[in-house]
């Protein structure tokens, strides 16, 4: 639409309606509605198609409660129209009031961004010395994003949610750009985009590996902070949102909305769910010295948490300068509207909430029964989506793992630390490792939740990759230009003898074995496993454990490494086949160590190398480095009866250990499924010649009795290669 040729002299807004909020194409025009409690006047500003030239300002004449609204009939009001808001009112930051009509504001309900963003002093709502409490009067419109009206129509065909049950879920965390930027099978034009992720070669890798659910790092439109831009760096991860409803345009070739929907449709057709990592806890407007881009100029005191005794300052429970005020009903409404939009219009299957403790705080304290959690539970369109919390923020009492309400799953960083610490050989961790392996009942059982409430992982975007956990003792974040001060130091890593790259074949073998050990542990544990993209072929970030600003080959997935690590990919694939076919590895109830009638073994037994069950003294032995785990109800026969046993033997010590094996089921024998120290040996289905199994140093062995169903034998190469 070419608004430059339009005569605006006789145009005014019709009354319109207060719902829905945002800009809505009705077929006859566009209805605009925006929330602001303290504004004295609001103008709708229209721009040319590129968002570069402001053509007219139309004043909202109607207000219902705190919602300002107006209707612009077609042909002027229609899809493609580019717009923004100017909001007038009192400017007194001392009281949290930051209205400034000189600042062009982005609609918080914007579905698609237009124009471009450039850091410029005019984006600041205050003059250079904010202590003077004087507004900056320079127009920010040339430098801020605008919104573009869209038509939601899209041919979804027969698209349906895959609706993967939690117990069958395998999550794969990836970055939309980084995952395909270097993929040789994706056309160059599509690399690093939504369409790149929809490419058949990419989807084929995911499905062959056994992934059921991709978790996309932030795709809500975001900004690169000025401090990074000034250094020539970028906010690569995307945890700095500016428009929650709009898909990030830099991952699109043309139309981000259409291309995002195309991606979701392609993944769904392959049976793969799509979960979004959403950032509702803060925005890119930062602290009191930050820019006025959207919420700050619309209604600062409503949308952000301000210091009670000093409203000119922001409460910062996010480490990003501001905290979104979930205690206000308008904020909760906007976030739930946003979730509903992504589910109903964009067809996503769930959300992972960054710093989710913020959403549960009321009067400064976290509450399991917080109003936001209740409203999400009451929203019918969100009833069956997956909800995952990153269960902490940086505020006082911010660590809330295990305290989220029923219906929510949580990232379990205690699992990561338990598994890494165990395989590193840390003293005194045996009991903690067993608790994590068994599903973390200490965190979830008391509230009636299941093992699937825990999202288990060895590595995620934040921290070392799985390979770097075996190759670096210390972080190496020099490329971030913060003198290696950024990123945490609690990596629980072990470089196996050399820091970084090496040509020593012994160390290379040990590192690969350690990766297999950790991956085997992850995929044999109770709970929902999450893999970090590229860990299946030992991706490295060269020791950078905080690559949030590295939009380059430090962060991009190096697909050339995949053929060299085909064995590791196959190892993980076979483990996922085993997990799929062994219901006892992904239970809906916690392991109890109990013996049921007509079963040879307990549901779980924790074994000493001598063959007996562990005693209290064993659990408390700080020098213990060896553990046997017998899953006595691993498989399910055609009648639904659990039988067939798996025996997982772990040795984190520097010496080989002889395990005395428990008796297999009557008339059966133990046979190898895998031995991480004998990876290159092709000896499928090898039956143990005696009642002793020698487990090599820093390795694990999985045994199965010969009562394992034939369907599993057919699908698994029992000694993987």
Q: Which residues are catalytic?
A: 354, 390
Distance separating alpha carbons of residues 618 and 430, to the nearest angstrom: 9
Which of 36, 47, 40, 38 has the alpha carbon at shortest distance from 3?
47
| 70 neighbors 62 (Cβ within 8 angstroms) | yes
| 369 neighbors 405 (Cβ within 8 angstroms) | yes
| 411 neighbors 388 (Cβ within 8 angstroms) | yes
3-class DSSP state for residue 434?
helix
3-class DSSP state for residue 629?
strand
3-class DSSP state for residue 295?
helix
Q: Which pair of tokens denotes residue 36? A: 């602001």
Residue with token string 């992982």: 457
| 523 neighbors 576 (Cβ within 8 angstroms) | yes
Cβ neighbours around 621 below 10 Å, total: 14
Distance separating alpha carbons of residues 211 and 171, to the nearest angstrom: 6
What backbone phi and psi angles, to 5 degrees, belong to 585? -90, -10
| 156 neighbors 265 (Cβ within 8 angstroms) | yes
Cβ neighbours around 497 below 10 Å, total: 12
Residues 6+ apart with CB under 8 A from 489: 474, 475
Distance separating alpha carbons of residues 106 and 85, to the nearest angstrom: 7
The C-alpha angle with vertex 32 and arms to 26 and 37, in degrees rounded to 5, equals: 150
What backbone phi and psi angles, to 5 degrees, belong to 525? -85, 155
Cα first-last separation, the chain = 59
Residues 6+ apart with CB under 8 A from 26: none
Distance separating alpha carbons of residues 391 and 408, to the nearest angstrom: 10
Q: Which pair of tokens denotes residue 261? A: 């929907």
Distance separating alpha carbons of residues 80 and 255, to the nearest angstrom: 11
**Does residue 20 have a cis peptide bond before it, meaning omega lies within 30 degrees of 0?**
yes
Q: Which long-range contacts (CB under 8 A, 24 or more apart) does 226-235 make?
A: 226/119, 228/549, 229/119, 231/481, 233/480, 233/481, 233/549, 233/550, 233/551, 234/549, 234/551, 235/548, 235/549
3-class DSSP state for residue 91?
strand
Distance separating alpha carbons of residues 21 and 33, to the nearest angstrom: 5
| 582 neighbors 712 (Cβ within 8 angstroms) | yes
Bridge partners for 243 per DSSP: 221
């Amino acid at each position: 639409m070419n608004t430059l040729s339009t005569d605006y002299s006789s145009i005014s807004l019709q009354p319109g309606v207060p719902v829905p909020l945002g800009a809505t194409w009705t077929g006859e025009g566009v209805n605009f509605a925006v929330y602001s409690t303290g504004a004295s006047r609001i103008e709708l500003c229209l721009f040319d198609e590129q968002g570069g030239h402001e053509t007219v300002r139309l004043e909202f004449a109607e207000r219902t409660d705190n919602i300002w609204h107006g209707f612009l009939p077609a042909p002027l009001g229609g899809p493609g129209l580019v717009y923004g808001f100017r909001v007038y009112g009192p400017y007194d930051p001392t009281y949290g009031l930051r209205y400034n009509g000189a600042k062009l504001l982005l609609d918080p309900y914007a579905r698609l961004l237009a124009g471009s963003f450039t850091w410029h002093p005019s984006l600041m709502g205050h003059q250079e010395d904010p202590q003077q409490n004087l507004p900056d009067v320079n127009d920010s419109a040339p430098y801020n994003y605008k919104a573009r009206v869209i038509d939601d129509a899209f041919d979804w065909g027969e698209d349906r949610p895959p609706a993967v049950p939690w117990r069958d879920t395998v999550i794969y965390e990836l970055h939309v750009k980084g995952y395909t930027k270097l993929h040789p099978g994706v056309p160059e034009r599509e690399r690093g985009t939504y369409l790149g992720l929809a490419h058949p070669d990419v989807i084929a890798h995911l499905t062959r590996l056994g992934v059921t659910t991709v978790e996309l790092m932030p795709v809500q439109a975001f900004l690169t902070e000025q401090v990074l831009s000034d250094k020539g760096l970028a906010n690569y991860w995307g945890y700095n949102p500016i428009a929650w409803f709009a898909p990030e345009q830099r991952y699109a070739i043309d139309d981000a909305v259409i291309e995002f929907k195309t991606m979701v449709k392609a993944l769904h057709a392959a049976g793969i769910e799509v979960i979004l990592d959403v950032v509702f806890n803060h925005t890119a407007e930062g602290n009191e010295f930050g820019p006025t881009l959207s919420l700050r100029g619309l209604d600062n005191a409503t949308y952000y948490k301000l210091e009670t005794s000093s409203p000119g300052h922001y409460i910062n429970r996010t480490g990003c300068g501001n905290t979104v005020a979930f205690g206000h009903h308008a904020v909760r409404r906007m976030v739930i509207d946003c979730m509903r939009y992504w589910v109903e219009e964009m067809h996503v299957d769930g959300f992972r909430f960054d710093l989710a403790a913020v959403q549960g705080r009321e009067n400064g304290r976290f509450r399991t029964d917080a109003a936001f959690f209740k409203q999400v539970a009451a929203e019918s369109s969100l009833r069956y989506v997956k909800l995952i919390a990153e269960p902490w923020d940086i505020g006082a009492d911010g660590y809330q793992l295990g305290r989220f309400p029923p219906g929510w799953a949580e990232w379990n960083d205690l699992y990561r630390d338990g598994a890494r610490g165990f395989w590193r050989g840390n003293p005194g961790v045996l009991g903690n490792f067993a608790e994590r392996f068994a599903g973390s009942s200490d965190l979830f059982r008391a509230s009636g939740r299941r093992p699937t409430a825990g999202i288990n992982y060895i590595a995620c975007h934040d921290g070392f990759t799985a390979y770097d956990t075996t190759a670096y003792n210390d972080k190496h974040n020099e490329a971030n230009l913060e003198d290696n001060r950024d990123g945490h130091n609690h990596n629980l890593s072990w470089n196996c003898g050399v820091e970084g790259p090496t040509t020593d074949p012994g160390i290379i073998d040990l590192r690969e074995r350690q990766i297999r050990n950790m991956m085997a542990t992850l995929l044999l544990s109770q709970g929902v496993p999450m893999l970090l993209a590229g860990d299946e072929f030992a991706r490295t970030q060269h020791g950078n454990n905080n690559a949030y600003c590295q939009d380059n080959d430090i962060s991009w997935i190096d697909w050339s490494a995949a053929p060299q690590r085909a064995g590791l990919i196959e190892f993980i694939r076979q483990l996922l086949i085993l997990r799929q076919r062994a219901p006892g590895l992904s239970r809906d109830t916690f392991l109890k160590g109990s013996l049921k009638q007509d079963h040879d073994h307990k549901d779980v037994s924790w074994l000493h190398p001598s063959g007996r069950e562990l005693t209290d003294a064993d659990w408390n032995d700080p020098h213990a480095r060896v553990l046997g785990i017998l899953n006595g109800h691993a498989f399910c026969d055609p009648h639904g009866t659990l039988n067939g046993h798996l025996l997982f033997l772990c040795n984190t010590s520097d010496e080989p250990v002889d395990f005395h094996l428990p008796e297999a089921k009557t008339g059966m024998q133990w046979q190898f499924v895998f031995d991480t120290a004998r990876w290159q040996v092709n000896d499928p289905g090898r039956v143990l010649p005696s009642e002793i199994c020698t487990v090599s140093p820093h390795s694990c062995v999985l045994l199965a009795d010969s009562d394992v169903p034939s369907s599993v034998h057919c699908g698994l190469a029992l000694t993987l290669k």
